[in-house]
Amino acid sequence: MSYTATKLLIDQHIHGGFGVDLSIANVEEIVFLSENLYKHGIGGYFPTLVTDSINNIKRQITQIKKASESDKKNIAKILGIHIEGIFINPDKKGIHNPEHFLPATVENYKLFEDEFIKIVTLAPELDEGLIPYLNNKGVKVQAGHCIGADLWGIDAATHLFNAMQGISHRSRSTALSALLNNNIYTELICDGVHLSDEIITLTSRLKPANKIILISDALPITYSEIKETVFAGERICYNGKSATSLNGTIAGSTSLLDRIVKRLYNKKLFNPEYINNVYKYHNIDLPGEIVWDTNFDIVEIRGGG
């Protein structure tokens, strides 16, 4: 049997898993999540916080930072925090709670600003000076939950096509601008629920292979026995295939990155660059590698956390 070795996986957009909700979890629970993510070949991740009150976001930033200091072995490294929400468009809110939305101003960002925040997802059409501020701070700015087509100052598109203005043959849109701009990275949720294989194929033809970042957008119910829960203030139900709110809005995925990679491989849609791109995007490196068998199941995880 032949084997393939790749870098460890890095997930820059994940809300939890194994019953752990990163929006409310304590330090011990976050460390537990990190231990289990490593077993799936995830060497590092960016805990992603949804729209919430300023106090709750500040509390979770503190919990995540403390968890990142764990000296345990064989654990996914916490590489920073991804803020998804607060500065997004109500028309593309998904399951986010509009009660906590704020104008995208520097003053509002400073209400919870922290050096450990590495990614901010916002609606560029609603920006009131926050984008250049984040650019100057070295924080990655991503367009998501939005309708704007002007992506000036934007580094990436958050979960491309999901919760954003799609492609029309008569007008500009966020998705179209992201596809045509080769300087912008695109997050893709390739779990078989959020994107069709046809749209994944189209994206791979339009975007350079080195600009596609695989994410899980995994929910706390991922790899757990939970079938119903409250997430981001919404009741979420899992039917064995997809997790949605009571009105049918897709809430996030129930797949981790190793399963997504395997699925793409089996569909002949996988490119090894998809694993490497997130390293380049953040200019980081992690020691270690994953050994995969011919079915792209993990055989061994070497080094890492």
**pLDDT tens readout for residues 5-17:** 999 999 999 999 9
Residue with tokens 């992201």: 178
Where do the structural domains in the chain lie, given as residue ranges?
4-302
CATH number for the domain whose boundaries are 4-302: 3.20.20.140
Residue 292: how many CB atoms within 10 A of its CB? 21
Average pLDDT taken over every residue of the chain: 96
Which pLDDT belongs to residue 1? 64
Q: Give tens-digit pLDDT for 36-63.
A: 999 999 999 999 999 999 999 999 999 9
**Helix runs in 78-214, H state only:** 106-109, 130-137, 174-180, 197-206
User: Whole-angstrom Cα distance, residue 216 to residue 127?
Assistant: 27
Q: Is the pLDDT of residue 305 over 80?
A: no
Q: Give tens-digit pLDDT for 218-248.
A: 999 999 999 999 999 899 999 999 999 999 9
Residue % of the chain over a pLDDT of 70? 99
Prediction pTM value: 0.97
User: Whole-angstrom Cα distance, residue 128 to residue 106?
Assistant: 8
Which pLDDT belongs to residue 304? 72
